[in-house]
Amino acid sequence: MSQSALMSPPPTTGQVIRTSLPDTFDGIRYEIGKMVNYVVQAASDPFMIEHTRAIVDNYSQAAAMSGASLAGVDPRGLAMEALETWCRQHYAYVNDPPNIEVIQTPKRMVKQTMIPAEVTRDVMAPIFEAMTIALGPAVAEYEVPGLTAGDCDEGSTLMNAHCAAWGNGSSEMSAGETDNRIRPIRFRFGGNGGTLHHVWARPYLGEQGIDSDLTEPGYNLGDYSKFEQYEEVEVKL
């Protein structure tokens, strides 16, 4: 497997890249490489930078309007909370097809959440018709959420891409100024019996890693599943 394939740019809109992966640890390494690469690309993507800025700004404003005091709050912690909340509201966990590894770019996933409700209704028209017969006119009032779906690779890449992009593109820092970006950003892998079979995001606030596992609906920031082994892979930004 060539290094150029691993570090090739992410697929553009409408592009699908198919790659045969060996059924060995090389295949897993390739997948991890893709996840890391997609986060790196997202970090400098103006679309992702603007998207994350808007999420955090809206979250901060909502918090301020609700009377919460943000004085003394680490802006990186607040941003991480805002970004995770957004991801949880818009990401649905699904498995990949058997023996097929699929990974979408975070940008594609975000764009899916922006697809107008009337489009989703049109795709699902037969289902809405059946639901209307079963439940009545309330179905017409139903607010279709903006969703994207993916497995744990995609969920962790989505969250890490958000953290990597937030705060990027702002003016250059002067010497001695604190970097207010969320760094470092790592993927954390967990598994049992000598294998790693689950992955989640682990962005850091300085020295402190904050686990974020979107695939677990009841988890808060900092929660993670118990495994026999853990490994972390840092995204070089």
Could you tell me if 221 and 211 are in contact, meaning their C-beta atoms sit under 8 angstroms apart?
A: yes
By the rule CB under 8 A, 102 interacts with other proteins: yes
Calpha distance 163→18 (Å, rounded):
27
By the rule CB under 8 A, 95 interacts with other proteins: yes
By the rule CB under 8 A, 13 interacts with other proteins: yes
* Burial of residue 145 (number of CB atoms within 10 Å: 0-12, 13-18, 19+): exposed
H-helix or E-strand spanning residue 63: helix 46-65
- What SS3 class is residue 150? strand
Instruction: Identify which of residues 71 and 138 has a Cβ nearer to other proteins in the complex.
Output: 138
The structure tokens listed for 188 are 């954390």
Give the residue, chosen from 1, 6, 78, 131, that forms a contact with other proteins under the rule CB under 8 A: 131
Give the residue, chosen from 1, 149, 205, 233, that forms a contact with other proteins under the rule CB under 8 A: 149
Calpha distance 228→219 (Å, rounded):
19
Instruction: Identify which of residues 66 and 99 has a Cβ nearer to other proteins in the complex.
Output: 99
Distance from first CA to last CA of the chain, Å, rounded?
24
Calpha distance 74→52 (Å, rounded):
17
Residue 128 Cβ, how far from other proteins at the closest point, in Å? Answer: 9
Give the residue, chosen from 2, 3, 4, 18, that forms a contact with other proteins under the rule CB under 8 A: 18
Instruction: Identify which of residues 96 and 231 has a Cβ nearer to other proteins in the complex.
Output: 96
x/- string (CB under 8 A) for other proteins, residues 108-127?
Answer: x--xx-xxx-xxx-xxxxxx
Residues found near other proteins in the complex (CB under 8 A):
13-14, 16, 18, 47, 92-100, 102, 108, 111-112, 114-116, 118-120, 122-127, 129-131, 135, 138, 142, 144-145, 147-150, 217
